[in-house]
């Protein structure tokens, strides 16, 4: 995770789940 910290941070920010 440390190695992929930008992706990790981007995904953690304001995830809005979609439920259809």
Binding site for another protein (CB under 8 A): 1, 3-8, 10-12, 15-20
Helical spans, DSSP H, in the chain: 5-12
Residue 2 CB, nearest approach to another protein (Å): 11
| Distance from C-alpha of 15 to C-alpha of 9, rounded to nearest angstrom | 11
- Minimum separation from the CB atom of position 12 to another protein (A): 7
- Pseudo-torsion of CA 2, 14, 11, 8, nearest 10°? 0
């Amino acid at each position: 995770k440390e190695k992929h910290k930008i992706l990790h941070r981007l995904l953690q920010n304001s995830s809005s789940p979609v439920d259809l």
